[in-house]
Amino acid sequence: MIKVFIYLIIPFSVSYPQPGNWNVTQTPVSANLKQIFALDSLHIWVAGDSGYILYSSDMGENWTIQNYRPDFQINDIYFINPDLGWAIENGVENQINVVNFILSTTNGGANWLSTRFRPDNVNLYTICFLDSLRGIVGGDNSVLSMTTNGGAEWIEVQRDSGTFSHFPVRKIRFINDSVGFAVGGIFDRGGVIWHCTDGGFNWITDSAYADPFFDMVFVDSQTVLTLASDIERSFPCAVFKSSDLGNTWFYQEIPYYGVCNGIDKRTISEIWGTFGKEFIVSSDQGENWQTFTTPDSILIYDISFTDSLHGFVVGQSGKFLKYIPKISSVDGELIFSNPTVKVFHNYPNPFNSYTNFRIELTEPSTLNITVYNSLGQKIQTVYNGHSESGYKEIKFNAENLSSGIYFYSIEVQSVNQNATQSKLINKMILLK
């Protein structure tokens, strides 16, 4: 048996310049999941057909079903913190009237309060709140309404009288407390971009195009980007981008045909969108694009990145996709490597409450990860058992620990005939 012992304490930086892969898992439901909202990698809500709302606190490993209502669907979901959230439930009542309910929760979705929104026979598509009192909804037939009392009352807000200003609003999001953007439109009739500068009370038509918009991404504090989509694939997609909070817009057609329902940024440069059975991706803030087929050609609807390492997608038949970053051997990132195992710096580090240990095994092994305090006292065994080959991230919860310097050991024992044992000890910093 060959033994390897290494003791390392190394300053580091992290970079992932190359796109990674996507791991597909099945949620407890088979309905199409069309909406995702992730506050961070440990607070994820997904929603879709049959009124389903599901919640995961462990990056999609386990799910809790929070809402279910056959013949209805969840058109949007939004949270301002781990407790306060809202959703739009839309469906047909008595096989006659189209009705909408605004769902609200004060305990992270463990319980939802349902309030009917009127008028009937319109579709609400989007909801967004700036704080616990101020929120806005948008939908068909010029519906654009705001609440200043947490949803007890909704009042119509002003839109300018532009030619397309009455078109349906598909998505509303705010880049700061004052400036918000809305996108929407109708297939084969046109798409519209609006923005406001007063917290949502008055909206101005920024731009119009031949095809509708369904989502947007805030690249930085000044820049917003959206894609126009044609469901019939008769016309190419178009990129609309403003770098001055909507005052001026850059526009270009791109040689791709389809519908982008969801879009988000992985980094300040790299933007990902859902594109049917493909991802559409730009690595230069929307100047150039390419597409990648989804695993097993799964139809995908919405996407969310909480940081450059953690991305999530929802799709058909209850599918959930998790981004697996492509690890590159950048100096200061890979801290140990032999033919059996590669160990990368835990991320984030320093960290607040949670960090992830990142390991890549070339063969099945016995894996042990243990955390110690600065006195060398054992705090917690994070993982101890068999592990299959491949890249993995193992979460460490330090919510009950005080700030300070901690150490972690990683021991790997391969299970093949020429067993190799490796051990590494490294430092991490908990800041609260």
Please give the span between the terminal C-alpha atoms of the chain, in angstroms, as a whole number. Answer: 43
**Residue written as tokens 């059975």?**
277
**What percent of the chain shows pLDDT beyond 70?**
92
- Residue 417 is predicted with a pLDDT of 61
Judging by beta carbons within 10 Å of its beta carbon (0-12, 13-18, 19+), is residue 366 exposed, middle or buried? middle
CB-CB contact of 37 with 26 (8 Å): no
Specify whether the CB–CB gap between 29 and 41 falls below 8 A.
no
pLDDT reported for residue 406: 92
CA distances from 189 to 142, 209, 212 (A): 15, 9, 8
Which pLDDT tens digit goes with each residue over 195-217?
999 999 999 998 888 899 999 99
pLDDT value of residue 185? 93
- Domain boundaries of the chain, sorted by first residue: 2-13+328-430, 21-324
CATH code given to domain 2-13+328-430:
2.60.40.1930
pLDDT of residue 419: 65
Q: In this predicted structure, what is the pLDDT of residue 329? A: 40
Rounded CA separation 320/25 (Å)? 5
d(CA 45, CA 348): 22
* Close Cβ partners of 337 (under 8 Å, ≥ 6 residues apart): 329, 343
How would you classify the pairing of strands 263-265 and 271-275?
A: antiparallel
Give me the torsion for CA of 62, 67, 69, 70, rounded to 10°: -10
Q: How many CB atoms lie within 10 A of CB 17?
A: 12
pLDDT at 13: 30
User: Cβ(63)–Cβ(54) under 8 Å?
Assistant: yes
- The 3-class SS string of the chain reads CEEEEEECCCCCCCCCCCCCEEEEEECCCCCCEEEEEEEECCEEEEEEECCCEEEECCCCCCCEEEECCCCEEEEEEEECCCCCEEEEEEEEECCCEEEEEEEEECCCCCCCEEEEECCCCCCEEEEEECCCCCEEEEECCCCEEEECCCCCCCEECEECCCCCCCCCEEEEEECCCCCEEEEEEECCCEEEEEEECCCCCEEEEEEEECCCEEEEEECCCCCEEEEECCCCCCCCCEEEEECCCCCCCEEEECCCCCCCCCEEECCCCCEEEEEECEEEEECCCCCCCEEEECHHHCCEEEEEECCCCCEEEEEHHHEEEEEECCCCCCCCCEEEECCCEEEEEEECCCECCEEEEEEEECCCEEEEEEEECCCCCEEEEEEEEEECCEEEEEEEECCCCCCEEEEEEEEEEECCCCCEEEEEEEEEEECC
pTM of the model: 0.75
Give the C-alpha separation, 288 to 291, whole Å: 11
At 8 the pLDDT is: 35
Q: By the 8 A CB rule, do 273 and 279 touch?
A: yes
Q: Which two tokens stand for residue 71?
A: 């013949």
With CA atoms as reference, report the closest residue to 242 among 201, 280, 285: 285
Specify the fold of 21-324: Methylamine Dehydrogenase; Chain H (2.130.10)
Cβ atoms of residues 112 and 102 within 8 Å: no
pLDDT of residue 179: 97
Question: Residue for token digits 């101890």?
Answer: 384
Task: For the chain, 432 residues long, give each residue's pLDDT as a single digit of tens.
Answer: 333 333 333 333 333 334 568 999 999 999 999 999 999 988 999 999 999 999 999 889 899 999 999 999 999 999 999 999 999 999 998 888 899 999 999 999 999 999 999 999 999 999 999 999 999 999 997 899 999 999 999 999 988 876 677 899 999 999 999 999 999 998 778 899 999 999 999 999 988 888 999 999 999 999 999 999 988 888 899 999 999 999 999 999 999 999 999 999 998 999 999 999 999 999 999 999 999 999 999 999 999 999 888 899 999 999 999 998 765 443 347 788 888 888 988 888 888 888 989 998 888 899 999 999 988 899 999 999 999 888 888 999 999 998 888 999 999 988 876 666 788 888 898 887
Cis bond before residue 350 (omega within 30° of 0) = yes
Distances (CA, A) of 98 to 89, 92, 119, 126, 144: 11, 4, 9, 16, 17
pLDDT digits (tens, 9 = 90+) for 16-55: 334 568 999 999 999 999 999 999 988 999 999 999 999 9
